Every structure is written in C-alpha cells, then in structure tokens.
Structure 1
C-alpha cells in the first residue's frame, strides 16, 4: 500500500509570522493621508497602528517586535541607529524607503502666558519638552542649539559628551502633554510640526516663538531587520515590496485628488481646510517610495554629529543603516 503524497507549496511551509499582515506604525497627522488612500483605494493589506507620540516611540516598538514597519521622521530613525554599536546589536530596523522629499518645518512653541520667553535666544539653558529621548523633537533641540551656537565643545582626549545646551529634557510623550507642560511651567518650550501646532496658536492655547527646518528630507520608511535580511544585497520581504507599490499608488492618488485630500485632512485629522490647502503647497512626496539616497543619510549623520547627537567613530555607520538604496 502506498501512502498518499502531500505536495506543499513554499507558502504552506513558511512560518505563520511570515504570512501575517504587516503591522505598520505611522504618525496620525496630515502626512499620513497617502497611507490612508493606499489602504482605502488600492488594497494595502496591513494593520495600521497610530503612534501620536512620534518616531521615538516607533523605534522602541520595532525593537520590541510590536510593529514590522515604521513611517516616521528621518532624524529619529537615524539617531536611533547611530547610537547602536554594530558589533553588539543590529539596531532592530533598517532604512528601506523614502516617504517625503521636502524638509519639515518645526514650530517652536511656548506657553500662552510666558513673558520670560520673548524669542529663540531666550531658550538657551531652558527646559525643553520632548516626546521621547531620541525622538525628532529631542534631536531637533540639538540642531537648534547648534544653529544658535549654544553647544559647548567636548573635553579634549575624552569620550565624555559635551554638556547639554538645556537645563533639562522633560519627556512628555504626547503633543497634548507638551502643550500643557509649557503652560504649567513644567517645560519652557517644545518643537512640533508647524501645521499641527498652528491650530493651537490660532486658539491662543500656546504661542509661537520661531521655527526651524530640517536640513534633510523629512520622512523615511524603515523595516524590522527580520524583513530585510542580514546582507546588503538580500531581498526584502514580499509584503514590504507590496507596501511600496501600494504607497506609490496612494501618493499618486493624493497628488491627483487635492479636494479629496483636503476633505480627509480637515475632517478625519482635525485640521482646518485653509491649513490643509496651505500645507499641500509645501509638501512633496516621491513618485517611488522604495529606496533611500545614501547622500541624505550621510548628510543627516554629519549634522547630528556636529550637533552633538552622534559622535564620530562611534555607532552604526551610515551605509550600514540602509537596506535598500535608490
């Protein structure tokens, strides 16, 4: 008697974790509109997980296995990897794609009734509110300090970093907590994206002190190291490739249907129609999201080293951070 032969496809023998829907972390702000369109109109089959506290929280979530992919701020991803010693840790994720080509305008905000803070120059040595240590709001605090020459040099012949330019980094997790903190005095100022902050300037809840632009394209896509392989030429997980294809369609839809984008941003995301239309004039998404320009990563690392966030000769090298180049 012959036993029946069972022929299994490659898909049948893959672990369940490989066949699961991607868990994608994102920030639920106006920049997320093409992600919504990719899912609503083009069949992006993924679980979208909102991280209102931003990129720093997604770094933690990727490393703990809570999400597979993150779409967040360039400086947060690169600062997170730049502090990893390659021989000890793989960092948990790699850069695989580009989500926004234009720089980000960070608004600098303080409390509505803070006469002691009259200008950006008033902020030297003050208490800066940040969402998390290592987040974009934290990193940009150092970039601001570098641009205003508040950074002190590191001591000679030592690996000890220079003293911070602020008296305290107050970790507050959410945008709401940051707004409350500058009014209570728990923090003196914080930085957050301009159009997200503008509504609260208009209402009088917080006051604008100034602004600063990132010296790099503002949003990147990262994937957990399990999805990108260990070698530079390794293939990406098929679900990540599908994500790129669907995001490209979502972006195309976004650029071709401005009224639909404005309607979504001004209802589901709680921005005014006027602010949504103004933002559309300032932002540019790529036609192809797959891949990262190494020059952008190298420039970001250079600026972060100059600002005292990263250090020459320590941490992951720029070329190791990237799993897929353009």
Structure 2
C-alpha cells in the first residue's frame, strides 16, 4: 500500500475526494490517500508542498501559479473546478460600510500572505480602479480569525468563498456587500515534482478515480442534502451553488494559464513569468 498525502480546504468543492476515500476506491488500487483539511487555505498549502508536508494539493489556480513562479517545485496536473470562485466581499454586520466604494483605503483581512484572499483583494482593487500599492493587510489565518478581526475593527473587510461564508451572513455576523468572481477556473490539482517523477502511475490512478466521481457528482441521489448537512448550509444555497459549479477532468490549457499569469504580472504579484511547460505537466 502506497501512502500519498493530499491537502485541501474543508469546503463543499472537495466532497468528491471524501466520498472516494470513504468508499475505499483508492484503497482498492493499493493507495492509502491521506487527506488533510487546511482551513488556512492556499498560502498554507503552498508552504506544505514546499516543505513536503503534502504530496498533492487541491488549490486555487492563481495561488499555486504565483508560488511556482516563486520557486515552488510542484506542477499543475489538471483543472479540478472549471467554474470561477465567487468571492464574497464581507464586512462586520454592524459596520458603517455599505457599498464597495466605502472600502477604498481600508484594511483587508487575509488568511496569510500569498493566499487567495490576498491575491483576490488586489484583483478587486484593480477592478475598482483603486491604487493596489496602497492596500493594507491584516493576517487572520482562518475565517474565525476574520470574524474576530472585523468584530474588533482591526480589519475592515474580508473576501472568502461566498457560499461557505453565507451562514455567517445569515447569523448577522457578516454583511456581504459585493461579489468578485475569479476570471479563470478556480481550483487545480498540484503535485510535488518529486512525487510526479517517482510515482507517475499512482498519480494517474488517483486522477482517474477522482475524475470518474466528479463527472457524475451532480447526479448522485440527494447530493444537495448531503452537502447541506455536512457543510451546515441551507439546501437552497447548496442548490444554487451546485447550479453554478462545474468540475473538470482536463488539463489547464496554455491560453488560460497565460491569462492568469499575465494578470498576476500586471498586478506586481509575480516578478518573473514562467513557461507553461514548466508549470503544467
């Protein structure tokens, strides 16, 4: 039995992985796939790949491209979720901010430097024609840290996946004032190059198993109820999320890769561009 470590956010996008593990599908192929939930998100997973704490990461596209450009010795093996990630822009429910323009020159809570929450706050600032050099950040690590920071006023707004954050909106803790969808597929599967070189057949088997599940995921009976229960969501929110979400079984194409990298370069998030062949395997 070959042990492979995989990491991802504890969010509804990753239920297909948990179903495959619970059903013993990897085990049947002599693979012990060990899943680690990473609530801190992409920045933390980039570090885990660098430190060999995980072999595979289900990770935000822009975050891993940024980190590979900065020297992370990993590669993107395929797209996992084709549809954009819808980032909700949230403030404390009692705050005096009511529209997006109110947030110019305020402080944004981010999970960590290099995280999707930081990168997308820069993308959002550019969309609003704000000066991206003037952005101020407060590192909060997790969504619970963001609740505390916005409540205390040490940060003013927080960007996180809209549906996972909606229970906090429903409880009157956060107020969502706008959305900012990613202009590219949101999640990819990244693998450390060492593992790709040593265990190519095992990686192929893992991808074949997860792709078979994601292809049919929406057709699983009562999948909306399962998701709502596991992730403490309202069923109507899950149904809307399912209607907007498309999984993928394809490689990241060069055009999309260039779109992401060019945006990161324009925003000064990366200093040097890397070739498509160096990132996508």
Q: Could you state the TM-score of these two structures normalised by the residue count of structure 1?
A: 0.80
> Paired residue for 2:89?
108
Instruction: Report the Cα offset of residue 123 of structure 1.
Output: 1.6
1:180 paired with 2:148, answer yes
> Paired residue for 1:148?
128
User: How far, CA to CA, are the matches of 1:184 and 1:68 in structure 2?
Assistant: 38
1:53 paired with 2:33, answer no
> Paired residue for 2:29?
none
Instruction: Report the Cα offset of residue 315 of structure 1.
Output: 4.9
Instruction: Report the Cα offset of residue 65 of structure 1.
Output: 0.8
What SS does structure 2 have at the residue aligned with 1:297?
Answer: helix
1:319 paired with 2:281, answer no
With over 3 angstroms needed to count, the CA separation of the structure-2 counterparts of 1:322 and 1:93, relative to structure 1, is: same
1:295 paired with 2:255, answer yes
Q: How does 1:105-254 map to 2 (within 5 A)?
A: 105-115=86-96, 117-151=97-131, 164-166=133-135, 168-229=136-197, 237-254=200-217
User: How far, CA to CA, are the matches of 1:141 and 1:60 in structure 2?
Assistant: 20
The CA deviation string for residues 265-312 of structure 1, in whole angstroms up to 9 with x for no partner, is 1222222222111111100112x25x321211111011112222123x
> Paired residue for 2:64?
77
User: Which is helix-richer, 1 or 2?
Assistant: 2
With over 3 angstroms needed to count, the CA separation of the structure-2 counterparts of 1:253 and 1:197, relative to structure 1, is: same
> Paired residue for 1:275?
237
- Gaps spanning 5+ residues in structure 1: where? 1-18, 85-90, 153-163, 230-234
1:65 paired with 2:58, answer no
With over 3 angstroms needed to count, the CA separation of the structure-2 counterparts of 1:144 and 1:225, relative to structure 1, is: same
Q: Could you state the TM-score of these two structures normalised by the residue count of structure 2?
A: 0.93
CA contact (8 A) 1:37 1:254 kept: no
User: How far, CA to CA, are the matches of 1:124 and 1:317 in structure 2?
Assistant: 35
Q: Highest Rg: 1 or 2? A: 1
With over 3 angstroms needed to count, the CA separation of the structure-2 counterparts of 1:23 and 1:113, relative to structure 1, is: same
User: How far, CA to CA, are the matches of 2:139 and 2:274 in structure 1?
Assistant: 25
1:20 paired with 2:7, answer no
Instruction: Report the Cα offset of residue 171 of structure 1.
Output: 0.9
CA contact (8 A) 2:107 2:138 kept: yes
The CA deviation string for residues 212-261 of structure 1, in whole angstroms up to 9 with x for no partner, is 010101110000110223xxxxx8622211110110122134122151x2
Instruction: Report the Cα offset of residue 150 of structure 1.
Output: 1.4
Q: How does 1:252-263 map to 2 (within 5 A)?
A: 252-259=215-222, 261-263=223-225
With over 3 angstroms needed to count, the CA separation of the structure-2 counterparts of 1:141 and 1:249, relative to structure 1, is: same
1:309 paired with 2:269, answer yes
The CA deviation string for residues 110-160 of structure 1, in whole angstroms up to 9 with x for no partner, is 111111x221112222111101111110100110111111136xxxxxxxx
User: Which is strand-richer, 1 or 2?
Assistant: 2
CA contact (8 A) 1:24 1:47 kept: yes
CA contact (8 A) 1:36 1:250 kept: no
Correspondent of 2:25 among 43, 47, 51? 43
Q: Which runs of 4+ in 1 moved over 6 A?
A: none
